[in-house]
Structure 1
Amino acid sequence: MISHRLRTAFGLATFFVLALAPFGRAQDKATIKIASQSPLSGGQAALGEGIKLGTQLAVEKFKGDLEKMGFRVVLVPYDDQAKPDVGVSNAKNIVADTQILGVIGHLNSGVAIPSSEVYKDASLAMISPANTNPTITDRGYKNVYRVCGRDDVQGVVGSEFASGELKVKSVYVIHDKTTYGQGVAEFFKADAEKKGMKVVGFEGTEEKSNFDPIITPIKAKNPDLIYFGGIYEQAAPFFKQARERGVKAKFLGPDGLDSSDLAKIAGKAVVGMYYTSVAGPVTVYPAAKQFADEYKKKFGKNPEPFAAQAYDATAILLKAIEAAAKGGATPSREAVSAAIRDVKYTGVTGTVQFDAKGDPKKALYFVLEVASADPQKWGDNKEVKRLSIAAPGPKA
Structure 2
Amino acid sequence: MKKTALSLTMIAALALGSASAQTTIKIASLSPLSGGQSDLGTQIKNGAQLAVNQYKAQFQKLGFNIQLVGYDDQADPATGTAAARKIAADRQILAVVGTLNSGVAIPSSAALVASHVALVSPANTANQVTDRGLSNMNRIVARDDAQGPAGANFIMGTLKAKKVYVLNDKTAYGEGLAKEVEKALKAKSVQVVANEGTEEKSDFSSIVAKIKLQRPDAIYFGGIYNQVGVFIKQLREAGINAPVVGGDGLDSSELATIAGAGANNIYFTTVAAPIEALPAAKTFAASYQKTFGKPAQGFGAFGYDAAKVVLQGILNAIKTNGGKAPTRTQVESAIRKGTFVGLLSGTVNFNSVGDRKAGTLYVMNVTGGKYKLATSIPVKPAKQ
TM-score band w.r.t. shorter chain:
over 0.9
Report matched runs for 1:105-120 at 5 Å.
105-120=98-113
Please state how far the C-alpha of 1:52 moved relative to its aligned partner. Answer: 0.5
Is the CA contact (8 Å cut-off) linking 1:226 and 1:250 kept in structure 2? yes
Q: 1:45 to 1:18 in 2, by over 3 A?
A: closer
Is the CA contact (8 Å cut-off) linking 1:54 and 1:310 kept in structure 2? yes
Q: Could you tell me which residue of structure 2 aligns to residue 153 of structure 1?
A: 146
Q: Aligned equivalents of 1:270 and 1:334: distance in 2? A: 47
Q: Could you tell me which residue of structure 1 aligns to residue 89 of structure 2?
A: 96
How far does the alpha carbon of each residue in 1:357-392 deviate from its partner, in whole angstroms, 9 at most, with x for none? 21111010111111332xxx5xxx222221111221
Scaled by the length of structure 1, the TM-score of the pair is: 0.91
Q: Aligned equivalents of 1:190 and 1:362: distance in 2? A: 23
1:228 to 214, 221, 226: 221
Report matched runs for 1:337-348 at 5 Å.
337-340=332-335, 341-348=337-344
Q: Could you tell me which residue of structure 2 aligns to residue 4 of structure 1?
A: none
Please state how far the C-alpha of 1:343 moved relative to its aligned partner. Answer: 2.7
Matched, 1:277 2:273: no
Please state how far the C-alpha of 1:29 moved relative to its aligned partner. Answer: 4.2
Q: Aligned equivalents of 2:93 and 2:21: distance in 1? A: 16
2:129 to 136, 148, 157: 136
Please state how far the C-alpha of 1:298 moved relative to its aligned partner. Answer: 1.1
Q: Could you tell me which residue of structure 2 aligns to residue 317 of structure 1?
A: 310
Scaled by the length of structure 2, the TM-score of the pair is: 0.93
Matched, 1:332 2:327: yes
How far does the alpha carbon of each residue in 1:277-321 deviate from its partner, in whole angstroms, 9 at most, with x for none? 111321111111111111011111112321111101111111111
Matched, 1:256 2:249: yes
Q: Residue 196 of structure 1 aligns to a residue in which SS?
A: coil
Q: Could you tell me which residue of structure 1 aligns to residue 381 of structure 2?
A: 391
Q: Residue 356 of structure 2 aligns to a residue in which SS?
A: coil
Q: Residue 355 of structure 2 aligns to a residue in which SS?
A: coil
Q: Aligned equivalents of 2:90 and 2:14: distance in 1? A: 26
Equivalent AA in structure 2 for residue 190 of structure 1: K
Q: Residue 40 of structure 1 aligns to a residue in which SS?
A: coil
Equivalent AA in structure 1 for residue 245 of structure 2: L
Q: Aligned equivalents of 1:267 and 1:248: distance in 2? A: 14
Is the CA contact (8 Å cut-off) linking 1:95 and 1:124 kept in structure 2? yes
Report matched runs for 1:162-173 at 5 Å.
162-173=155-166
Is the CA contact (8 Å cut-off) linking 2:118 and 2:331 kept in structure 1? yes
Q: How many residues align?
A: 373
Q: Residue 306 of structure 1 aligns to a residue in which SS?
A: helix
Equivalent AA in structure 2 for residue 334 of structure 1: T
Q: Could you tell me which residue of structure 2 aligns to residue 305 of structure 1?
A: 298
Q: 1:226 to 1:67 in 2, by over 3 A?
A: same
Q: Residue 103 of structure 1 aligns to a residue in which SS?
A: strand
Matched, 1:217 2:207: no
Is the CA contact (8 Å cut-off) linking 1:29 and 1:330 kept in structure 2? no
Please state how far the C-alpha of 1:160 moved relative to its aligned partner. Answer: 0.6
Please state how far the C-alpha of 1:65 moved relative to its aligned partner. Answer: 1.2
Is the CA contact (8 Å cut-off) linking 2:125 and 2:142 kept in structure 1? yes
Q: Aligned equivalents of 1:307 and 1:334: distance in 2? A: 27
Q: Residue 74 of structure 1 aligns to a residue in which SS?
A: strand
Equivalent AA in structure 2 for residue 240 of structure 1: K
Is the CA contact (8 Å cut-off) linking 1:319 and 1:343 kept in structure 2? no
How far does the alpha carbon of each residue in 1:156-202 deviate from its partner, in whole angstroms, 9 at most, with x for none? 00111111111100000011000001110110011111111101111
Please state how far the C-alpha of 1:346 moved relative to its aligned partner. Answer: 2.8
Structure 1: runs of 5 or more not aligned: 1-16
> Which is further off, 127-136 or 341-350?
341-350
1:370 to 347, 366, 369: 366
Matched, 1:353 2:346: no
Is the CA contact (8 Å cut-off) linking 1:46 and 1:304 kept in structure 2? no
Please state how far the C-alpha of 1:19 moved relative to its aligned partner. Answer: 9.2
Equivalent AA in structure 2 for residue 336 of structure 1: V
Matched, 1:60 2:53: yes
Please state how far the C-alpha of 1:109 moved relative to its aligned partner. Answer: 0.3
Q: 1:24 to 1:328 in 2, by over 3 A?
A: farther
Structure with greater Cα Rg: 1
Q: Aligned equivalents of 2:98 and 2:113: distance in 1? A: 14
- Percent sequence identity over aligned pairs: 47
> Which is further off, 116-125 or 18-27?
18-27
Q: Could you tell me which residue of structure 1 aligns to residue 5 of structure 2?
A: none
Q: Residue 362 of structure 2 aligns to a residue in which SS?
A: strand
Q: Residue 149 of structure 1 aligns to a residue in which SS?
A: coil
Matched, 1:82 2:75: yes
Q: Residue 118 of structure 1 aligns to a residue in which SS?
A: helix
